[in-house]
Structures are given as C-alpha cells and as structure tokens.
Structure 1
Amino acid sequence: MAMTDVLVIGGGPGGYSAAIRAAQRDCDVTLVDRDGVGGTCLNHGCIPSKALLTASNLVTELESASRMGIYAEPFVDVGEMIDWKDDVVDRLTGGVEKLCEANGVTVREGTARFTDDHTVEIAATDGTIDELEFETAVIATGSHPMSVPGFSVNDDPILNSRQALALEGAPRSLAVVGAGYIGMELSTVFAKLGTDVTVVEMEDDVLPGYESDLTRPVKKRAESVGVDFQFGQVAVEWSREGDGTVTLHTEGTDGTDHETTAERILVAIGREPVSDTLGLEAIGLEPTDAGFFETDDRTRTARDHVFAVGDVAGEPMLAHKAVAEGLVAAEVASGGDAALHDAAIPTAVFVDPEIATVGLTEADARDAGHSPVVGEFPFNASGRALTLAETEGFVRVVAGEDTGRLLGAQIVGPEASELIGELGVAVETGLTLEDVAGTVHMHPTLSEAVMEACENALGQAIHTLNR
C-alpha cells in the first residue's frame, strides 16, 4: 500500500497552502482533489467573480466619464470578456500546480474517503480505486452553494453562483434569490453588462449582517445601474412561460404573493460545507448539524491526527482564513508548533463601492465590555478620492477609550479591501490611535483617510470636523 506522511483532502487555498508548507517541512505530502488544485476560490468563486467585477466596473466608468470631459460608448463583447476571465483562472491554477510540483507535493485527482484511522481509498475519475496510508490528514474539502427546495440547478433556467460565472453571455433578464455578498456581487456584474436584474431578499436590506450605513451606498449604487430590489420576500416556486422565460413566485412576509419574470433565476443564498463524502464514520469523527468540524486553535478536530481548515472548519468562509488555517495545520501536523490568531481576520465584499471590515464594531466593543471611542473620515473630504471621482463612503475606526488601542474598523468606499490591511495590522499588533495617526501617510492617497479617521477619534482631525 502506498504511504504518505501528510494527506491533504481538498485543493483550495487552505488545502494547497497546507500541502506546500508541510512539504517545505520535509514531509512526504499527497494532495487529493476531485477537481484539481485551486478549489472554488480560484476556479469558480473569488478569482473569476473579481475578474468580471473589474471588467463590468470598467464599462460603467467609461459610460460615466463625461463628468471628466471624456465621452465614450464602450462596445462589450461578453464572450471575449469570459475568455479573459478564464485565462486569468488558468494562469493562477497553473501556477499553483507548478508550485506544488516544485515543492514535492504529489497531486492526485479523485475523491478520498476514510476507511480506517490511517487509511483512505481514492476513487479516481477513471473509476479506479486504490488505497493510501497516512500519518496525519488535513481536511480542506471546502463548501458548495446552498440550494432552495424546488430550485434544482439541474433545471436549465436555474443557476447557482458557479454556473452563473460559467455563462458564455449575459442573460437579457435575471432574477436573483438572495442579497448577500454572492448575490450582490453577481447582480452588480450582470446589471453593468446590460442584464435586467431583480433581487429578491427575505430580509429588509442588502448584505444582512453588515451595518446599514455601510450597505446604504452599495444599495444606492446598485439601483443606479438598474438593479431592482424586492425585500421581505421568500422564493416559493418557479414556472416556465410560453415565451421561454420563467416566473419566480415569492411570498412576502405579510403573506402576499408576488411574481418576477426573467430569462434565468440565480439562487445565491449562501454556501454550506462539504463533509458528507469523507466516510467519517470510519474514523469516529462527526461534524456539527450544519456540517462543520469543530477545531481547536491548532486546527485539530476531535481526532488529534486529523485537522480541518477552510470553509469546512466553520465561519467565516474566507479564502485568506483558509490559508492561515492551512499553514497552522501543516506546522502542527509535521511536528511543529503554531496557533491561530483570529482577532484580526478581515472581511470584504467586492461590491460597488467595496465594503471591508476587521475586528469589532462599536456595538461589538460595547458588548465585549469596552468603552469605545469612534472616529470617521468621509471620502468626499479626500483629495485622492475626488481625483478618482469615487467619493461615496467613509473609513471608521473603533478603539478602547482607556487604552487607545484599535479594536476594529469598517470601510465602505474605493479600494476598501486594500485599505483594511493597514487596520488589520493595527488591530492584530495592538497599535493605538496615536500610533496610526502619528505615522506619516503619503499624499494624495486613499490611505490618508485611515490616518484622518484615527485623528478624528482623537479630536485632532484636520480635513474633517471632529466629533
């Protein structure tokens, strides 16, 4: 029987990072994935969606450039755009494959299933099955889109996020079920490419879970490009129409019935972990009712020689969290010592404008027993934001009143996903408002807004009124 020191099941960011790091620590490593390396993030999620967001944003930027004295009517070839997106994906996945090979990781395509504490059987795509013995295992099987009863993605007009990103053209009209981050990102892409988009959401606002002042500019921008929102409605069923369209039937929270007609229906209500293919009964490991694995700060499951990382290890389902967990798992599985530091895991929604957060909100800080002090700086007071014609939003920082230490931050506006990095470092390392405010920031840049938000919290802002 073939043997390996470290078995990694799943080739997404958490899995391939764990595999490469374990190999760097002189372990014999085998990575098994049924779809090849890259996982959902590189192949069907983060990367293709951000590529299409970039392209569709460029379309609207050109269309609105008249305010700068530039007049353009862009012609969009969606097929060529998809080809460019696919090329980006291929370059990244190909790069990861080469890195695995260069680091000595053995990559196998197939589905791994535990047969006992230290053995898996691997069912290859050609139907062959063989066994592999391992010392330690890292489960990184990721997640897949959640479904709505009666809305099977096997029916032609029904799409999940993976299928939507693989479309060869933009549909004329699209009904989107869910206004979370996936639904909002994809509805924005298609609306900017000319699709008539209607979003149905059971809650009363977009991006449930985020503060309303963060989501307000996002909803406003989406509506400006033609997205129609119907809140307080639940998808019930769908029916085909004679003209080739479909009708989405929804029920309002007040009991009323509603209908939305479109060419396709996109179900984007979230994701759920993939843990039902692993044969867990063979190793006495049981996930939670939601399908997640409970882990300690070293990513160990209830079985000390089995680790879990990424989406399958619980919220938040973020690629960068998966990478961090994968690196910790590799260190511990290979005999080293490492632990997770999760106080400053940033989140981002790549909508328009972007939203990014890290650490605690003001309400979180109060609930945790802090007396928070808050500072904000609006982008409409930023010289760089004005020159970019992107003035919606703000940077907000939350600190402890007694210590001045940064506890969290929230940003909505241009390049929020990039700006949050500095504040993540500040929260993780315990920097104070004075530390950040006293650091000279380049002018004119968006990052000055971070500095000025900290100055605002101190009552020392120059380019906005102090609280």
Structure 2
Amino acid sequence: MAQYDVIIIGSGPGGYVCAIRCAQLGLKTACVEGRDTLGGTCLNVGCIPSKALLHASHMLHEAEHNFATMGLKGKSPSVDWKQMLSYKDDTIGQNTKGIEFLFKKNKVDWIKGWASIPEAGKVKVGDDVHEAKNIIIASGSEPSSLPGVEVDEKVVVTSTGALELPKIPKKMVVIGAGVIGLELGSVYARLGAEVTVIEYLDAITPGMDGEVQKTFQRTLKKQGMTFVMGAAVQKTEASKTKAKVTYTLKKDDSTHEIDADTVLVATGRKPYTEGLGLDALGVDLSKRGQIQVGKDWQTSVKGIYAIGDCIDGPMLAHKAEDEGMAVASVIAGKHGHVNYNVIPGVIYTWPEVANVGKTEEALKEEGRAYKVGKFSFMGNGRAKAMFAAEGFVKILADKDTDRVLGAHIIGPNAGELIHEICVAMEFGASAEDIALTCHAHPTCSEAVREAALACGDGPIHS
C-alpha cells in the first residue's frame, strides 16, 4: 500500500477542498468516499439539488405572477415533475463529475469505500489498510429526527427523500422552521402543495435577527405557507400514501392532528461518525457527538484532525471548506486560519435571507453600544423593476468606532450582497468605508451602501 502524507475521510465540501489544497501544497493525498460519486451530502442530496429545485420553482412563480405584467403573455407553463427531477439530477452530475476531474488534475487518489481508523496513522477501507502521516476526518452530518417520528423516506422524509418524491404532494407538513424546512417547503408551495410548517419555538430560523424573522415569516405566509408556532410534535403515523402528525401547543397544552401526503422532518442535523472507531481510538467527543478539536483542528489523538459538520460550529459547507484549506496549511507547515466571526449564512428562498456577524439580540446581551443603519428595498430602483422590493438591509456598527459588527439582509440576491459586508468585516472596515465606496447604479447592492449611509448622516433614497 502507498504511504500517504494525508488521507481525508469524506469528500464533501470540507473533504474535497481539503484534499485538493493538500495536493496543491505538495502533500501526497488520498480521499476516502463510499458513495458512487464525490461531493458528499452537499452536492448529492443537499445544497446543489435543493438549489436546482428552488431555481426551477422560482421561474414557475415568476411566470405565473409577473410575466404578464412585463408584457410576456401566453399560457402559463405546466410542471413536468419528472423532467424537473431530471434537470436536478443533471445538475448534481455536472458538479460531482467536476470534483472527480479536479481530483485527477491535482493527483488526489480516490479510495472507494467506507473508512475506519484502527489506529493513528492507519485507515482501513474494506480489507485494505492504508498508511498516512496525517488523517483528516471530514465525515459530515446526517439528518436528526424526533422521538415518535419514524422516517421511511417515502411518506415521512428527510431532505434526502424530499428531493426525489415520486410526485408533488397535495399536502405537506414540514416539522421544523429552519433553513432546510423553509427552503424545501418553499419549493413545494410554489409547485402547488399546501404547506404547513410546525415549529417548536415561537420564531422561525432560530438564532437569526428578530426583525428578519418576523419579516421573513410574513413574506412566506403571503406566498401561501401556513405556520403553527410553539408546537411540540408528539408522533407521526404513516400508511403507504398518507401520514398523520400529532402535536401539542405549548401555550395551552392542547393536542391537535394534521393529515398530509408527505411529512418533511427538518429538525436539524447531527455529526456522522458511525463506523470510524473513534471510541476505541480515544478521540474525545462532546455530549452532542461532535469531535473535539484544538485550534489547529487536531483531535485528542495526535495526527488525527477533524473539520466540518462533525465538529463544533455552524453546519455550513463554506465553513467546512475554510477549515479544509486551513488544516491543509497547518499540516504543510504553514499558518491555517478561519475567522469564525465572519461566516455568512444564507437561506435561498425568494426573497433570499443572508446574515453575517452579530445580531442586535447578541449585542444587547453583550451590553455593547451599537448603532443601526437600515434601508428598505422599496427605495431601490433595481429591486422595484424586479418585483423584489420587499425586505431590507440592516447594518450594525460599533457606536464609537463605526466598525461593522454584522449585517442582516432579506431581499433580492441577499446571498450575493452579503459578501460585501464579509470583506468589509475581514478588513475591519467601518460603515463609513462602505458608504464612501461608489456603487454602480442601478444595482441591488446600492441598498447596502444606503444602509451604511444610514449609520451616519442618513440614506439618500429614504
């Protein structure tokens, strides 16, 4: 067997990016992946396929609601669900084959199969044992469920099953009002399903800016989604084609039932480390099953590192990618760094929702003096031309230094707009720095500048 400098376990965004960067830094690298295709959950049954369906269903929404106003007249398109799934699968294929090409280009060996670590420096795949000076665990996460909720991936599904339903359900119940539930719920609502979201907490998208939460929920209600808040799901009962969800309202302890053709369980994800042999190795885990790592992403066992969803922090593909590049640098003898204070989050509904840095709630809890600059997309000419004037940009800056502490955007292309703030925060910029930067007109990004102006003498178009 070949002696490797690095073996990465898992080829998701963290794993494949780490493998490529290791190879670019001159390390002999292999990546272990048991799926038939590279890319992990994100490319195969997560980020990429869900965005394909979000895009397709948004085009349908535009055709049904806005085309005629723009003078684009004709019969509204009908949905060929089989063809839409084919488009989704083709999108997956293009991306996974792209990773395979990059592995070959960078001379990364793909070891096909599922890995275990019998001891430090060794990775077992099937009957073969491969030796490596360093092992990086990038095994990702898997959907978590609730007691009393049995997933069959046919009627009661996780995000994986929701991406390949044989037909569009008439009624869908989504358990959990987080990112995954709202994105996929939005897809099926646009396609004509009656979507009800049941959430245990009193606000959707837990941890986000409170004002964004309220605006976002109001917008999704307008789009036809129904919300049952403060509700604890007790159980699901499924037949071959139908399901019943039983839940209790916390406010009065009353019990209710709701029928559905499909139940989407979107109650979060948990680290996936099954079969790796971490207990026998003595790798420290948290109570939540996360692999404990130090500042250099090394576990409690020397020479074994971990990144991405299987360690602490937000379960985001780009966070895993950053960690992958950083740990590759560490192993290569360079400096590896991830700024965990500047990791954006995006929800790819329409409008999109994006955030980075601190929320107002967090700043109040810290007792930090801050100021708010806010600008509505109603004052943005480009957004109005796109029928996308609902929403706003909010920038939070230190009251004394004007340094940008965070930003929250709900509106058109929010997932693209947020990166201007990310760059600003990475360089320690002030709101005034953004306000004094010329922005092209007409663009949605002008709303970011106006919010920055609102941190000072005031916006122009409000």
TM-score, shorter chain, exceeding 0.5: yes
Length, aligned pairs only: 458
Change (3 A) 1:258 1:71: farther
Change (3 A) 1:71 1:204: farther
- What's the CA shift for 1:297? 3.0
**Alpha-carbon displacement from aligned partner over 1:230-262 (angstroms, at most 9, x marks no partner):** 122222122346x94221111221221111111
What are the equivalent positions in structure 2 for 1:7-46 lying under 5 Å apart?
7-35=7-35, 36-46=37-47
Q: Is the CA contact (8 Å cut-off) linking 2:150 and 2:236 kept in structure 1? A: no
Q: Is the CA contact (8 Å cut-off) linking 1:114 and 1:282 kept in structure 2? A: no
Q: CA RMSD in A?
A: 1.6
CA distance in 2, matches of 1:361, 1:257: 34
Tell whether 2:244 aligns with 1:247. Answer: yes
Q: Is the CA contact (8 Å cut-off) linking 2:284 and 2:292 kept in structure 1? A: no
Instruction: Determine helix, strand or coil for the equivalent of 1:79.
Output: helix
Map of 1:145 onto structure 2? 143
Could you tell me which amino acid in structure 2 is paired with residue 25 of structure 1? L
145-154 or 377-386: which moved more?
145-154
CA distance in 2, matches of 1:78, 1:194: 12
What are the equivalent positions in structure 2 for 1:154-233 lying under 5 Å apart?
154=152, 156-233=154-231
Change (3 A) 1:281 1:378: same
Instruction: Determine helix, strand or coil for the equivalent of 1:463.
Output: coil
Instruction: Determine helix, strand or coil for the equivalent of 1:287.
Output: coil
**Alpha-carbon displacement from aligned partner over 1:147-190 (angstroms, at most 9, x marks no partner):** 12232223742111111112243122211111111111111100
Tell whether 2:86 aligns with 1:76. Answer: no
Unaligned runs of 5+ in 1: 124-128
Map of 2:271 onto structure 1? 273
Could you tell me which amino acid in structure 1 is paired with residue 95 of structure 2? L
Equivalent residue in structure 2 for 1:364, among 362, 365, 375: 362
CA distance in 1, matches of 2:367, 2:2: 54
Q: Is the CA contact (8 Å cut-off) linking 2:4 and 2:28 kept in structure 1? A: yes
Q: Is the CA contact (8 Å cut-off) linking 2:209 and 2:360 kept in structure 1? A: no
Q: Is the CA contact (8 Å cut-off) linking 2:377 and 2:390 kept in structure 1? A: yes
Change (3 A) 1:17 1:155: closer
- What's the CA shift for 1:352? 2.4
Could you tell me which amino acid in structure 2 is paired with residue 238 of structure 1? T
Unaligned runs of 5+ in 2: none
Tell whether 2:399 aligns with 1:397. Answer: no
Q: Is the CA contact (8 Å cut-off) linking 1:217 and 1:353 kept in structure 2? A: no
Q: Is the CA contact (8 Å cut-off) linking 1:382 and 1:449 kept in structure 2? A: yes
CA distance in 2, matches of 1:367, 1:262: 40
Change (3 A) 1:306 1:244: closer
**Alpha-carbon displacement from aligned partner over 1:342-398 (angstroms, at most 9, x marks no partner):** 221111111221111111123323444532111011000101111111011111111
CA distance in 2, matches of 1:110, 1:94: 18
Change (3 A) 1:156 1:338: closer
CA distance in 1, matches of 2:205, 2:366: 24
388-397 or 282-291: which moved more?
282-291
Instruction: Determine helix, strand or coil for the equivalent of 1:355.
Output: strand
Equivalent residue in structure 2 for 1:428, among 413, 426, 438: 426
Could you tell me which amino acid in structure 1 is paired with residue 93 of structure 2? D
Could you tell me which amino acid in structure 2 is paired with residue 381 of structure 1? G
Q: Is the CA contact (8 Å cut-off) linking 1:305 and 1:333 kept in structure 2? A: no
CA distance in 1, matches of 2:312, 2:138: 11
CA distance in 2, matches of 1:341, 1:209: 19
Tell whether 2:49 aligns with 1:53. Answer: no
Q: Is the CA contact (8 Å cut-off) linking 2:284 and 2:299 kept in structure 1? A: no
CA distance in 2, matches of 1:300, 1:116: 15
CA distance in 1, matches of 2:176, 2:365: 29
Give % identity: 39
65-74 or 110-119: which moved more?
65-74
Map of 1:94 onto structure 2? 97
Q: Is the CA contact (8 Å cut-off) linking 1:298 and 1:340 kept in structure 2? A: no
CA distance in 1, matches of 2:459, 2:196: 42
CA distance in 2, matches of 1:224, 1:395: 20
Q: Is the CA contact (8 Å cut-off) linking 2:208 and 2:359 kept in structure 1? A: no
86-95 or 276-285: which moved more?
276-285
TM-score with structure 1 length normalisation?
0.94
Instruction: Determine helix, strand or coil for the equivalent of 2:294.
Output: coil
Map of 1:134 onto structure 2? 132
Could you tell me which amino acid in structure 1 is paired with residue 279 of structure 2? E
Instruction: Determine helix, strand or coil for the equivalent of 2:454.
Output: helix
TM-score with structure 2 length normalisation?
0.95
Map of 2:258 onto structure 1? 260
CA distance in 2, matches of 1:319, 1:103: 21
455-464 or 413-422: which moved more?
455-464
**Alpha-carbon displacement from aligned partner over 1:390-449 (angstroms, at most 9, x marks no partner):** 011111111112211111111111110000000000111101122111110000001111
CA distance in 2, matches of 1:212, 1:69: 38
Map of 2:116 onto structure 1? 113
